[in-house]
Chains A and B, each alone.
Chain A
């Protein structure tokens, strides 16, 4: 009940389990008990609808059990009953902070079964929009981290950037969040007139604003360092063992990025670095995210410099009926490796679709890392994982 096994096993906790209950003599003599606390699903810091069942010894967390499923919308089942192109808007709503990657993964998986050639311009635009979408997700997640630490202001700065990117996205795709832009065989429409210049202008501005608005304001702050350094610390072995991907993995020093190691689409032609950090704590994840925003800016500039011309839609035929078989695609979403497995039986609806979202896997971290930390440390650790409710429940 008191989670003794967890305390004794060899762990990578940054702080030893403290408090009076750690000493069994005192505990038995005074009959002390732990408090059970139920955090969520309606809780401001739970990134949507997550419920944590906590066992507390004073302020120290002894046990933390995440309960998922409060935003389950049966995306996989719905996908089975829709025609192939009609599944794309469904995927949009899985990870609603980084929609473009969700569409991209599904389209890549189906295209493996289709006999279609993607025009180079479509590939480039896909990568371009994906990187915008990544910035759109990473910058607010920095804001969320600070919000959960108690600083309210950075989130508004972050959302200002998100709003500006959303306006660009709106001009390109017609929607601010649920884009439905990447289609089987290409993209919905070409970039509007003058759009590359507009994007270039925005990206230049963002590069200048990144330093004063997000780094100077946050990184040197004593309280920020005190609250994040050493919190949620884990070893690279542990991270690999848990199957983490994305920033939680890279901040421990493991260099893994699907875009780099299993390149897809236009990423083969791009020159970028995989951002890693060896500290493996919340502060490292913050630095990783900033670094990734910089890399995304670099990629967007490269794409805009060499934007190929031509069509943006391949010929898929009027009715999309992929060949029988399995199509698997993996892409790097803002939260980690996102994979889609489509099974086709030759009809015009998928036989089975499975979405492997990084949030579901990364969420294990809570159970492993949180015990031994203080209660307020749960919030920065959530910021390290940066999960999205829609993505872990699907």
Chain B
């Protein structure tokens, strides 16, 4: 198997050499790596923006930036993290790279459309950069672009929402591509219940991307129209209803949080069984819960609006629906924990980060229920409690799942292994920093500190100082993690085709995979998480 050329080494067709071999490629693996570098860039930028915000808040009064810059910075932090990192990261990188391999296909169904999505992503990012330096500065509305402020503010909202519109389109076309790929390109013999769980979760995500994105597209179009034509569709003086904006916005943006978390759950569902050497507990339960989250998650948007003046009936209904989403989510958590029970656990950085994910995500999920209940939400609405909650889910959840996936698939993507010890240290630093960073925000929120405020009363200072301190620790941890991964390119310690002992198809091909992914006809296991082969091989090596 060693003599097989990887997709890096396979010579490109004439006229497609050098940089063109990347920029005009239709290969899903190259596109995944192009997404990877772009996403890295945005992630690092937004992490430092976030840290600047927390440094500003560490002490009362102006610390490092004036209030206008602060407003633009938290908007930019949100826009980048949401539209350029969390939404695209896992589907566009790992989905692109591994979804086709996991179902035994040689590429996605629409390879050219895939390339087009990448260009849309880059173009959207470029527009966001341009909107920084033109007009009256970057939008200061927060990533939610709420009317009436987004229509009346002088800053560059039009260009920013156009960027979001284009990024939405890119994400939707990727979803369309994946749905078609899963339906039409599964290798012969792979039934629906033999699809690996990561692919299942990307499939569920893809449907949410297709169903929800057009709604935010039209909403953002309306914001631009309002800014240029003053139609008044959301302006009460002209007969409009500003609440309708919030409905339309969250009709997409709440399902979008499941676009963010479902792929992360898919990664964890891959990693836990591999390092427990045990079939995943409740395969069908996880599949069904992915689809259930996708469906129920589309019906809970108005829980962002309890205090906005909706009718009590709506509040009641949306609160109930919100609680329903907790059930499939808990099914997953219990399945992961049960998988590890009595497994023969092999500790590695990916598993370690998955465990951190489970812990942090559970805290995020449970505090979500505090916000989902109308009574308690009234108290903590729009406080830093909310900020802490969604960072626990988006960052402690999706972010750490992304890190875990990165460490799990790194040897497959690049054919090299990284240093374990530094990976552990980085993960511990990031987690300790994370807890110091966000737990004080829960407490501050309960005490009544509003989110997005530039300054605060003296009795909030201790909490904000601790949060800033934790933030610095966390950033050091994340940077160490990236430096460690980067160092693996220098050491180039080769990784075998199956360094972990996985059962899904990507571990049956060489690392990195050849251009057409498979050198021989893929063998489909009756059950995708059957470890008897892996265990037998391990026993043979020992004996």
Pairing of A with B: no
